[in-house]
A and B are shown apart, each in its own frame.
Chain A
Amino acid sequence: MTDETDVAPVVAPADETTTRKLGIGFWISVTWIAVVVLAALLAPWLPLKDPDANFIVPGERPPYSPNGTHWFGTDQDARDLFSRTIFGARISLTVGFVAIACGMVFGGALGILAGFFRGWWDRIISFVFLVLLSFPALVLAILITALLERSQRTISNTLGILSISPVGRVARATTISFADREFVLAARTLGAKNSRIIIRELLPNVLIPMGALALLGMAVAVVAEGGLAFLGLSVAKGSTWGKLILNGSGSRLLADSPWVAFAPILVLFITVLALNFAGDRLRSYFDVKETSL
């Protein structure tokens, strides 16, 4: 017994108590995410203006600034920015969701295999992760989207491939830390098959930290889609948040009608902030190590 207890109140970390609760900020974030996701899902059935219609007011040149009818204003073609932003969320969020789902399934499976079997499996899979990680993410995305047609599926799959290694590395690290725990050893000594150990014992434990990662990963994917849009490589048809922002960012339009860019920027920013914040809270709630990311 050291005498550390003597000074225990001295180092009482202020962080500890706050990380034990999810906190009000977490629930605000989750609410925002839920509202955006619901709006995106239900967009065609909501009483929204047609995102592609031109609401030209006779005698006035668009874009129109935000007002009672057009809450976010309109763009240079007099299209309603509010409904365009909500419809844009459909593609942006789908891309983000598919990407992270892809990362979870493939990255998770590979990571668990590498962490469970170790040896050559581990070496090969870890090297694949390393190769994928050593491309700057955006360069790889550019490469794939440039070679294939720019459909929503290509973009989602590309970002999905990119999320394999970060997710996979966490899955591997978590698996390794669990593989030697008593309950896994117990299952082994009882003669359980590898597949059974992985599915029954490891998967539930590895899923928890990965769930926290999913929110962070989704934020990254949504942002990456925006980046591709700025390089002219996002989804060819339909509007996304990235394309909406790009549209508003030309010097002339930005100077005269900044809301065309700033309305989608605001929604994107709050959504990414909410995803980051919620993911961060979950991560410290489940105590996922920052270093393993």
Chain B
Amino acid sequence: MGWARKILRVNLTEGTCASEPLNMQWADEYLGSRGLATKYLVEETDPKVDPLSPDNKMIMSTGPLTGTMASTGGRYTVVTKGPLTGAIACSNSGGFFGAELKFAGWDMIIFEGKSPKPVYLFVENDRAELRDAANLWGKSCWETEETIKRQHQDPQIRISSIGRAGENQVLFACVVNDLHRAAGRSGVGAVMGSKNLKAVALRGTKGTSGIKDFKAFMQASNEAKKVLADNAVTGEGLPKYGTQVLMNVINEIGALPTRNHRDVKFEDASKISAEQMHEKRATDGKPQLVTNAACFGCTIACGRISEIDKTHFSVVNSPKYWGASGGLEYEAAWALGAANGVGDIEALQYANLLCNEHGMDPISFGATVGAVMEMYEMGVLTEEQIGTAAPFGSAEALVQLVEMTANGEGFGKEIGEGSRRLCTKYGHPELSMSVKGQEFPAYDARGIQGIGLAYATSNRGACHLRGYTVASEVMGIPVKTDPLVTEGKPALVKAFQDATAIFDSAGICVFTSFAWTLADVQPQLAAACEGDWSMEKLETVGERIWNMERQYNLAAGLTRKDDDLPPRLKTEAAKVGPAKGLVNGLDTMLPEYYQLRGWTPDGVPSSETLNRLGL
């Protein structure tokens, strides 16, 4: 079992909620969460659908390990067609919402259609109903959570919602749960907004009882937890420094994209690093970091809870930001900081807070600001057009632009379209540091060659979480490979991509893979789930999920040409550091990757491959 075996179908057009049994054959073929939800989307929607039309569907799904004692077993995935990319969108989030969905007795919720007016879904165990959200529309994610808890007079309700960014269909809007956890990428929040769905509020008291063999499961999950505890990254580095531990590391190896990828090292990296977050500030004698915090069931606890400097210009008149709240993670600190050349960590935290509050992906937002700043310095965009002077390094500009984008004001509306549309509009599509329209995360593909291929082939657009070869190329997990060479990277990328599909589909956090391999996950799944969950099966399921997503994208109209990096990474060599003189070798890696995948030279899965995977 592992699954609750029940899904909730919500027709927003009709205003109905219906329970139906989970398709157990699909569960056996696609596991759960990312894989299983994508299977439903593939079966139920036209891949050519306009992502923001009522015909698109949005699925929130747990995995079989969600809501169990497996470490990090609290995750859920939002699957839909992404408005930023036109490709499959699949964003997963921790916090407590996913486990609550399982505890209420559901594996997933499928949203279809569009509500005639703003609504939110309230689920209390078996009972599900749409409720009027007129009073919530226009509110931030934080206000929405507070208001729903107050309306229901239940402090234990768990909520996912969109903020103004989602309502305004900012193309990189997130779905935010538990105040500062987000299904962050690909604009899934805009899809939610297009459906007039403001929030999903859950209360589950039924618990997870459907574990095949509890005794075996407890043993397997305990052993796996020990692996996490004994590992230097998951047992020490991440709890103490969070993902921000990477800031100085990646900068040192010359792979910290800086100023819209013009540079590969940031001179102020240490000022925005994890170590800085521990430093006492001169102004108030307190460090920015208050504590680390865990998502549901997580024995790593990489999450940051921070307090901004009350005297900082961004918040000096806004006491509502003074309390403890979600702190900087590496990707956000990079995108808001290094990508724009901004070295003011308090400004970064302010922008981070606004991204959480209003539901925006800080990676795409920050990277888009990077493109804006570059065009400003080139003279393509003027102070008048933007509404502020926006040179690289300007914390003031960052602060203004985050407010404008969150509020959908002025030039903020254009930023809300993402960098590809914005750069194209102003005649410089090459300045959008993106793949398939989704902005890069925080690793430069010149200094870490394999990640370039992972970005180019990621089914949801540029992403580090679809095949995190950084683990191998930088940290030596599970084996050390040379970041500066392309040899062997196609196989590495494929292996990471297929394995990650299993981590995501199981309902656990991919950060466990700093310590875990599939061999650590397999016994937990085998004890929790009915059926055969051998290593061989998992490897096949992972590859099947990857190919299913690929098929969806091809059917949506994407082609080989969309598996590409911006010219800057392929033609402008790194200026300093170990990768000095290097560009990314995508063009040598890609054909080999296609071949390894059993795809044609045009990147189309061959019929043999499809047959082998049962697709």
| A and B bind | no
